[in-house]
Every structure is written in C-alpha cells, then in structure tokens.
Amino acid sequence: MNAVTVKDAKNNLEQLIEQVIADAEPTIVVSENGQRVVFLSLDEYNSWKETLYLLSNPANAARLRASIVEAEAGQVHEQELDDRGESFLHCLLGKIIFGFRSTTENFSSASTS
C-alpha cells in the first residue's frame, strides 16, 4: 500500500485519484502530526462494504465459502449473460437472493457536493 504526505496529496490530488482508481489499491495519506487516512476508489469501497454485508450473515458466509471451495475444485459452469450484462445480473441477484439493493446502486448516485 502506498503512502503520501498531506502536502504531496494536495499538490498532486488529481494524479493521486487517478492512481488509486487505476491501481485499485488504497493509498494512505499521512498528516503532519502523524494521523492517517486511506484514499480508496468508490468502486473499491462499495465492493468492501458489500463483502462485509454478505459475510455478516453466518449462513450466507458459509454458502459463499462453500461456493469458493467448489470453484477452486473446478466445479463451475459458464453462463452467458444477456445484453444487460453483469451489472443487471448483480443487482437482480442481490434483490432476489439477499433482499437488498447492491451497494453500487446505493452509492454510485450519491452527490459529490
């Protein structure tokens, strides 16, 4: 994980934002008194938040872990998506299986004021 000073972050904010998004890697910003914050792309934040939500239910976490084991064992099959793509499928599955709206849906329309 990269780290930059507040001064460097201020002087190169646009570049820092582009790097965090391109690398999909958080960057630590350190203040003069040593306090630290993390810069994280919105997509990455939404992904982490959704993962935490999905793993917060023990039964759901067990199903997800079992699915990972199956995938690692090669017990998978491919499914073609229609022209609405993965985003539609992701939202639909979230609504049908888990009863929630995707975090991407919840935060991507947030205002940036």
Domain boundaries, the chain: 2-40, 43-107
Spatial separation of the C-alpha atoms in residues 28 and 30, rounded to whole Å: 6
pTM of the model: 0.56
Spatial separation of the C-alpha atoms in residues 15 and 29, rounded to whole Å: 14
CB neighbours of residue 46 within 10 Å: 18
Higher per-residue pLDDT: 17 or 91: 17
| Answer CATH for 2-40 from 3.50.50.60, 3.40.630.30, 3.40.1620.10, 3.40.50.2300 | 3.40.1620.10
Residues 6+ apart with CB under 8 A from 31: 6
Q: Which residues pair with 3 in a beta bridge?
A: 28
pLDDT at 102 (0 to 100): 47
Per-residue pLDDT of 33-92, as tens digits, reads 999 999 999 999 999 998 898 889 999 889 888 888 988 898 877 777 666 656 666 666
pLDDT at 64 (0 to 100): 86
What are the tokens at 107? Answer: 């935060």
* Helices 42-55 and 58-72, packing angle to 10 deg: 110
